[in-house]
Each structure stands twice: as C-alpha cells, then as structure tokens.
Amino acid sequence: MKTITTNLPRKLYRAEQIRENEADVAALVDIQMYPLMVLAGQAVVDCALMHAHENTLFYVICGTGNNGGDGYVVARCLDSAGRMVEVIQTGDVEKIKGEAKQARDAWLVAGGKESQQFPQKWDSDAMIIDALLGTGLTGDLREEHLQCIERMNTSGRMIISVDVPSGLNANCGQPMPDAVEADMTVTFIALKRGLVTGFGPHYSGQIYFAGLGLNKTFEKQVESSAQFSNAEQLIQQLKPRAKFYHKGMCGKVVLVGGNKGMPGAIRLAAESALRCGAGLVSVLTHPDNIAAVVSSRPELMVQGIEDGEEATALLEAADVIVVGPGLGQDNWAISILRQILDLDKYRVMDADALNLIAFAPEPVKLRNTVITPHPGEAARLLKKSTQDVESDRFSAAKQLQQQHQAVTVLKGAGSIIASESQCLVNHSGNPGMATAGMGDVLSGIIGAFVGQGMPLEDAAALGVYLHGAAADLASSQGQRGMIASDLFPYLRQLVNPESAR
C-alpha cells in the first residue's frame, strides 16, 4: 500500500490544531494512538528506502517526545527489513512517556540498542533520520538541541525529518534559531503551514505527505487556518476570447511610476500587463523617461506628467491603476499618489507607493486595492522589523489586510495572499526570482487580471501563481542569472492555457 505522496493536500493547519484533534479523529476512524505511531514510522521507512542503497547505514536521532517515538518505530521497521540501524538517544530517557515509551520498549525488546553519542565520523553511505523534535516547539532551542542539529547539518549526509525538521516552528516556518536542513520531510495527518512559507521550504526540502488514514476525516472535522491557492481552478477563468473582442473590452490598465532617471521598473510592469492580456496599457511617468519606455516597447502608450493633476484624465478612464514601480518618494511622487488615492478606482500598489503610505500617522484604508509588499515594505507598513514580519508571515499578512482593508500579497518563498475571508499560500516559483524587477512584473500581472474583470483576490492569487510558474519555466536554463524580463514569453504561454491542449 502506498503510504506517502508528493501530491500535497491544499488545506494547511497550525501545529496545535493537529495535536489537539488527532486523538479524537483517530477515535472516529477506530485507530489507537500507538498503531497510528507505527503507521507514521512505516511511512518514514518507505521514504527512506526509496532513497537508500543496499548498504546504507541509518542513524536514527531520537528525542524524548512523540517525534522520538516515531524514530524508534522507524528503527525497528528498518531492522526488521534487514537494514543496518544505529539509534542515538539525545535526552533523559526517564522523560519518555506514553506511546513514545511504548515504541522505545518495543525497540529494546526486539534487541535494539541505543547510544547517547553521535559518531565521531559518519559512515560514508549513511542516512540520518531526524526524530529529535516535533511540532510542539515554540520557544528557542536549548543548547543541547542546537548542538544535535549542528551535528546533523554538518554531516554531509542525506537527512529525512520526521513530521517537521527539528528546530523549525511548524506554524510560521521560522528556525528557532536554527533547524535541521532536511533533504526530505515526511509529514503526517495534515500539512503544517510552516513547512511551505518563509524559511520552511529551505529546511523541509522535498515534502512527502502521509495521511495515515486520518487526513480526509481530519479535514472534515477541523477547519483549516490557510490553504494553497487553487491554481487549476483559477486558470479556468482564462477562457478563450470571443471572436468579437476588441482592445477596449480587455482592460484599460494605467501604470504610474518611473521617477526621473528610473524608467526600468515601470517599463517591466507595463510589459507584463500587456503579456497577460490587457487590451490598453498606458504609462504615466516622469517626462524624462518617455523615450526610454516607448523605444523599448512601442505598444505602450506613454505620457510624461509633472504632477498629479496632469494625470487626472487618464486615471479616471482606467479600469485599474498600478502605482509604485520606480515612483520614488519626492514631491512628484507624493502629488501623484494623493491624486490616485482620491479616486474611486481599482488599484494595485507596490514599492514606493507602499513606502509613502507607511509614513502616514494612521493606517490608510485602501478599499478595492491589492498591495504587494515584500517583507521590508511590510515591516514599514506595520511599524515593525523585517525580522518580526518573517518570524510570523501569516500573522503579518493578516495584520496588513485588516489594517489597510486591502487584499495583501506578502511576497517571498511561499507568498501569502490574505483577503478578508482567507489566507492562501502560493506554491510556484524558485530562488532565481531573487533579482531586481521581479516584483514590478508581478504588479503588472495582477493589474492585467483586475483590468480584465477578475475579482481582486482571484487576480492576486492567479497573478502570484503565474508569476512563479513563468519563473519555473524560465529556470530551465538555470536559476542563477535569470532576470525579470525572462518571464515574458512564458507568461504569454501560461495565460493561453487552451493553446497547450
């Protein structure tokens, strides 16, 4: 029977939701907690054997909690399969209770041994099973745990973490302050949200999911705190155009930005709007930038403006206004932003538009708006540090949404889209996107979808997904050295799903 899968469930949960409900859900499906632990251990074994050689020596690092209990089950199952196993017990065995003690006792009765010491030298064909700490971690690690994690991370050997990499906060994806850098993580029953955003994906590696027969019942019984965006459903909104369509029916997007000497950001945002299907794309920029923008993309309508009043007519004709890329923070930028905030229009706000709003003494309400801050911009808006934002990205995204009454995209690995009704997590993209101009491209993508009539939350979620998906396709030539404009041909391909059929 297949016990693990890389097809992850959409719903995401806080660690305490799982701990508080797993026993009740197990009772509903008539399974006791120790047999459940055995199923979890077997799932880890199945993953380990998929990636091991015949002569692999398995080091199972066990803590004193239930995660360590899972580790003892792993050791016993591997031993029963004729594999070489060494168990390293890291804590006071007197603290091992309940099902974890039952699992340890079963290992010892079967003739298993345990050591209190890490090897001086790891076997050349070793694999490490990290069963040190589980999902209950909330505060900073103790010194002895930090030392264990360092020994694993510096081993140079493949690591499989049990349920969650030891040291990683399962709710927010923050190392506390360090965590096991796993090659793979086998997680159980429900997907912990900290595995998929912020630092979580780095420490988790490839995530395998094992429902243990409880996952479907668990999802029915327990309301999720977040979920992956449903890209497949969102893409269905990109239907083939009717034959009678003309450019005026495909969205009038006006992009505002590009202060003196800064045409690049607004140029990238504007082309991405075109590439995602906007019918009419206009750029309002500093007069010095007109030639630079027009000469590189003549399909754009470009107008130089000296202040916000000059922009009024074009802004009022827009279906959506994208403001911020290259805007700057001087009087020119302030004048234009004030004009935009006075209009009752759909808006996408990024970069310096957000930095200017952060200076306001009271939070600015931004109805009918999508904001797309990176963690630094989010920190300024919330009057916090970037570290505070990254330490709990879900909370930061929700605070921003409530504070500004805007759909919020908190960018980064596992970007979070927070609306009034829910939190979504994006699952596309790669580290090659860590380069200038990527955020500007995203602003234009979202603006294009809003301009074509898509609801704000859907436009944000689809925009973030396609942005990452285009980068994934572009990365076929390598992540390092990928630039923002490399996404354009792939965006055009992705927004025409019917051409792939």
Helix (H, G, I), strand (E, B) or coil at 39: helix
Same domain? 209 vs 277: no
Cα–Cα dist 341/424, whole Å = 27
Same domain? 125 vs 268: no
**Contact by Cβ (8 Å): 276, 348:** no
Write down the mean pLDDT value for the chain.
96
What CATH number corresponds to the domain at position 115?
A: 3.40.50.10260
Residue 232 confidence (pLDDT): 87
Quick check: is 276 in a domain? Answer: yes
Same domain? 210 vs 269: no
Mean pLDDT (whole number) for 45-68: 97
pLDDT digits (tens, 9 = 90+) for 433-481: 999 999 999 999 999 999 999 999 999 999 999 999 999 999 999 999 9
Same domain? 390 vs 330: yes
Residue 48 confidence (pLDDT): 98
pLDDT digits (tens, 9 = 90+) for 408-419: 999 999 999 999
Q: In degrees rounded to 5, what are phi and psi of residue 427?
A: -125, 20
Mean pLDDT (whole number) for 12-29: 97
**Contact by Cβ (8 Å): 268, 483:** no
Find, among 272, 201, 258, the residue nearest to 467 by Cα.
Answer: 272
Quick check: is 1 in a domain? Answer: no
Number of domains making up the chain: 2
Residue 500 above 80 pLDDT?
no
- Structural domain range at position 128: 11-224
Tokens of 90: 């890291």
Mean pLDDT (whole number) for 34-42: 98
Quick check: is 243 in a domain? Answer: no
Same domain? 172 vs 318: no
Between strands 11-13 and 226-228, the pairing is: antiparallel
Tokens of 311: 């922009």
- Neighbouring residues of 444: CB distance < 8 A, sequence distance ≥ 6: 253, 255, 268, 269, 270, 271, 272, 273, 276, 322
Residue 1 above 60 pLDDT?
no
Strand partners, 256: 284, 323
Using a pLDDT cut of 90, give the percent of the chain over it: 96
Same domain? 219 vs 314: no
Residue 501 confidence (pLDDT): 54
Mean pLDDT (whole number) for 208-237: 95
Residue 138 confidence (pLDDT): 81
Residue 499 confidence (pLDDT): 73
Quick check: is 3 in a domain? Answer: no
Quick check: is 2 in a domain? Answer: no
Helix (H, G, I), strand (E, B) or coil at 228: strand
Same domain? 196 vs 316: no
Q: Note the pTM of the prediction, 2 decimals.
A: 0.95
pLDDT digits (tens, 9 = 90+) for 264-305: 999 999 999 999 999 999 999 999 999 999 999 999 999 999
Same domain? 400 vs 328: yes
**What DSSP designation does 196 have?**
S
Cα–Cα dist 152/180, whole Å = 7
Tokens of 252: 């009038």
Mean pLDDT (whole number) for 422-443: 97
Same domain? 396 vs 488: yes
Quick check: is 4 in a domain? Answer: no
Cα–Cα dist 209/206, whole Å = 10
Same domain? 183 vs 323: no
Same domain? 208 vs 353: no
Using a pLDDT cut of 70, give the percent of the chain over it: 99
Residue 65 confidence (pLDDT): 96
pLDDT digits (tens, 9 = 90+) for 176-197: 999 999 999 999 999 999 999 9
Quick check: is 479 in a domain? Answer: yes
Helix (H, G, I), strand (E, B) or coil at 482: coil
Cα–Cα dist 210/42, whole Å = 10
What CATH number corresponds to the domain at position 486?
A: 3.40.1190.20
Quick check: is 244 in a domain? Answer: no
| CB crowding 83-114: b at 16 or more within 10 Å, else e | bebbbbbbbeeeebeebbbbbbebbeeeebeb
Same domain? 463 vs 316: yes
